[in-house]
């Protein structure tokens, strides 16, 4: 069974407050769907209410989903990933070693 994981600060944490099916649906809907995850990242992962802009890369593999956010804040930037996977380490490996960009979508959001 796939679970939702948050990768931030070189650490995995299980996101038990996110439903895996709902997150998979958001990621499957591309930039519009992933835009809904930005509020979760800003409020629940970074605990800040303000950001300048966000760049997201969306990866969908075989039964694995990943949204990679680079968030520009007033005092620097933060990197956060939300994964839906049985094994988040394998998903990260697949994302970073992917030769073809056909499974990746890039999105930009400005507040």
pLDDT tens sequence across 62-81: 889 999 999 999 889 999 99
Residue 104 CA to residue 66 CA, distance in Å, equals 10
- Tell me what pLDDT residue 99 has: 62
pTM: 0.91
**pLDDT tens digits, residue range 13-57?**
999 999 999 999 999 999 999 988 998 999 999 988 788 999 999
Q: What is the pLDDT of the chain when averaged over all its residues?
A: 90
Q: What is the enclosing helix (H) or strand (E) of 68?
A: strand 64-73
**pLDDT tens digits, residue range 86-108?**
999 899 898 888 767 777 889 99
Residue 29 CA to residue 58 CA, distance in Å, equals 10
The encoded tokens of residue 57 equal 């890369």
């Amino acid at each position: 069974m796939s679970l939702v994981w948050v990768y931030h600060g070189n650490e995995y944490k299980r996101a038990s407050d996110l439903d895996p099916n709902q997150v998979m649906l958001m990621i499957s809907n591309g930039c519009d769907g992933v835009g809904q995850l930005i509020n979760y990242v800003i409020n629940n992962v970074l605990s800040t209410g303000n950001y300048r802009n966000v760049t997201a890369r969306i990866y969908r593999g075989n039964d694995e989903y990943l949204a990679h956010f680079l968030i520009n804040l007033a005092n620097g930037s933060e990197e956060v990933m939300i994964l839906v996977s049985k094994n988040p380490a394998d998903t990260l490996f697949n994302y970073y070693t992917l030769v073809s960009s056909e499974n990746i979508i890039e999105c930009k959001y400005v507040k």
